[in-house]
């Protein structure tokens, strides 16, 4: 079994569970994104903050020159604190609170991605109170199937996100009455962990059609935002540590009809940070059940909830054993039967005290940790710290 190259001797001195971020891999990932988009001066990447807001990770992303895609006031503040220029911050979210909108207005963020007519009216009202004009993009629900888990599909008519096409006329007709918002673009996001590029092709077709809707009404759009959603390879993180960004961006080059003056915005999250992070844990017990054996870890779904919430797969490696493979149900200590990382999983023969790595945990891992059962939140370390 091919394993990642970890500083295992240093891990042995650290209290588990904890997150570990390979900043060298993150930097290589950021360089690859730049290689793919620098040929297009009108392409802009806003990192999706919801994936991971670890301070060291954000510092690398900010240093790479990327903006921030935020879905809460807390994320806006975290982006500002990390040094992201406010004119590179976009703010989406179906339920923006007044204080969050005001935070964006006070900091002159680039754009609010508006998801309903009532929200548009509130932004207009709050901007008027400050004597400002807010730049907005309409998040339009394109009714495109992302072919991913139903919890992370966001672009269908049945989803709560975005403005449906049937309501677009009403929204457009309202703009002349709203003096404190300026329509600068349209925004889309169809889902997450998308590995089938035909889903993005389908999005491009719909964007082209919707562009014609605006053109027919003599509405000029300066910015097109196609969201994010590019997936990573959870099964083989050692063989595919960096996603195929070239193929991803080429879909939009080949299928999206931009106007000469338009900029194209992306909101990449998981694909940027997913593979650089791992959750490290120790084996507490090997328990022999009636029909199976359990490897009981000191990490649980409070530390990494994706397997419980999405039935998601993470590659699991025993970093300290060279013994022949055996089969385990790999579980945590939480008092819930759903606290299971994998069932009937084969890995090197395992014993109490072995160090286990749950791979591809850089996105939606540390950020979703909780204190259920009054457990401590996991700490985080980077490859720079442990060199």
Does residue 316 contact residue 343 with C-beta atoms inside 8 Å?
Answer: no
Q: Residue 127: which region, alpha, beta or left (left: phi > 0; alpha: psi -120 to 50)? A: alpha
42/137 same-domain check = yes
In the predicted model, what is the mean pLDDT of the chain? 94
Same domain, 159 and 210: yes
Asked if the structure places residue 242 within a domain, the reply is yes
pLDDT in tens, 200-230: 999 999 999 999 999 999 999 999 999 999 9
Close Cβ partners of 91 (under 8 Å, ≥ 6 residues apart): 70, 71, 76, 100, 101, 104, 109, 111, 112, 113
Structural domain that includes position 96: 24-274
For 260-271, what is the mean pLDDT? 97
Q: Give per-residue pLDDT as tens, 243-263.
A: 999 999 999 999 999 999 999
Does position 335 have pLDDT exceeding 90, yes or no? Answer: yes
With bands split at pLDDT 50, 70 and 90, how would you rate the model's confidence at 2? low
Task: Tell me if 52 is assigned to some domain.
Answer: yes
Confidence at 158, pLDDT banded by 50, 70, 90: low
Question: Which tokens in the block code for residue 261?
Answer: 């003056």
> Between 164 and 347, whose confidence is greater?
347
Answer yes or no: are the C-beta atoms of 127 and 150 closer than 8 Å: no
The alpha helices in 23-116, defined as continuous H runs, are 23-37, 55-63, 73-81, 98-106
SS3 of residue 147 by DSSP: coil
β-bridge partners, 330? 295, 342
315 torsion bin: left (phi>0), alpha (psi -120 to 50), beta (else) = beta
Question: Please, which pLDDT band fits residue 276 given cuts at 50, 70 and 90?
Answer: very high
> Does a structural domain hold residue 387?
no
Final residue before a domain boundary, out of 241, 258, 274? 274
| pLDDT, tens only, 109-153 | 999 999 999 999 999 999 999 999 999 999 998 877 555 444 434
Cβ neighbours of residue 70 closer than 8 Å, sequence gap 6 or more:
49, 76, 79, 89, 90, 91, 92, 93
183 with 194, same domain: the answer is: yes
* pLDDT for the residue numbered 156: 46
* Domain tally, the chain: 2
Assigned domain for 2 exists: no
Q: Specify whether 30 is located in the same domain as 93.
A: yes
Cα separation, 127 vs 279, whole angstroms: 43
Asked if residue 151 belongs to a domain, the reply is: yes
Same domain, 268 and 289: no
What is the domain-level CATH number for residue 317?
Answer: 2.40.37.10
Average pLDDT over residues 28-44: 96
Give percent of the chain with pLDDT exceeding 70.
95
- Average pLDDT of the residues in 52-66: 98
In the predicted model, what is the mean pLDDT of residues 364-370? 98
Q: Are residues 143 and 243 in the same domain?
A: yes
Residues 218, 71 share a domain? yes
| Residue 336: both structure tokens together | 């819930």
The answer to the question of residue 61 being in a domain is: yes
**Final residue before a domain boundary, out of 274, 296, 329:** 274
Same domain? For 172 and 260 the reply is yes
Among the candidates 274, 290, 305, a domain finishes at: 274
pLDDT at residue 143, rounded to an integer? 73
Does the pLDDT value for residue 342 go beyond 60? yes
Give yes or no: residues 304 and 240 share one domain. Answer: no
pTM of the full predicted structure? Answer: 0.94
């Amino acid at each position: 079994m091919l394993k990642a190259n970890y500083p295992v001797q240093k891990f042995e001195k650290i209290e588990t569970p904890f997150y570990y971020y390979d900043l060298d891999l993150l930097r290589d990932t950021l360089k690859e994104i730049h290689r793919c988009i620098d040929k297009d001066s009108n392409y802009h990447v806003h990192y999706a903050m919801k994936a991971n807001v670890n301070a060291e990770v954000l510092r690398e992303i900010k240093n790479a020159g990327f903006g921030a895609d935020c879905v809460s006031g807390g994320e806006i503040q975290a982006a500002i604190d990390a040094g992201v220029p406010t004119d590179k911050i976009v703010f989406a979210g179906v339920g923006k609170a007044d204080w969050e909108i005001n935070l964006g207005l006070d900091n002159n963020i680039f754009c609010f991605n508006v998801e309903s007519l009532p929200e548009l009216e509130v932004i207009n009202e709050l901007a008027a109170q400050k004597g400002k004009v807010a730049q907005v993009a309409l998040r339009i629900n394109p009714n495109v199937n992302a072919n991913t888990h139903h919890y992370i599909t966001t672009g269908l008519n049945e989803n709560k996100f975005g403005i449906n096409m049937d309501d677009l006329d009403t929204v457009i007709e309202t703009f002349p009455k709203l003096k404190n918002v300026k329509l600068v673009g349209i925004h889309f996001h169809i889902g997450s962990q998308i590995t089938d590029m035909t889903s993005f092709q389908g999005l491009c077709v719909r964007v082209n059609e919707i562009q014609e809707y605006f053109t027919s009404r003599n509405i000029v759009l300066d910015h097109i935002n196609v969201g994010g959603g590019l997936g990573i390879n959870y099964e083989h993180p050692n063989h595919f540590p960096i996603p195929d960004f070239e193929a991803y961006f080429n879909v939009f080059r080949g299928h999206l009809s931009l106007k000469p003056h338009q900029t194209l915005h992306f909101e990449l999250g998981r694909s940027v940070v997913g593979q650089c992070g791992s959750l490290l844990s120790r084996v507490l017990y090997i328990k022999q059940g009636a029909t199976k054996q359990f490897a009981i870890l000191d990490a649980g779904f409070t530390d990494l909830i994706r397997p419980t919430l999405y039935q998601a797969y993470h590659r699991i490696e025993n970093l300290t054993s060279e013994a022949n493979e055996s089969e385990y149900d790999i579980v945590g200590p939480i008092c819930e039967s759903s606290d299971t990382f994998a069932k009937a999983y084969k890995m090197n023969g395992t014993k109490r005290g072995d160090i286990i790595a749950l791979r591809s945990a850089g996105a939606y891992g540390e950020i979703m940790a909780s204190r259920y059962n009054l457990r401590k939140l996991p700490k985080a370390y980077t490859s720079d710290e442990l060199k």
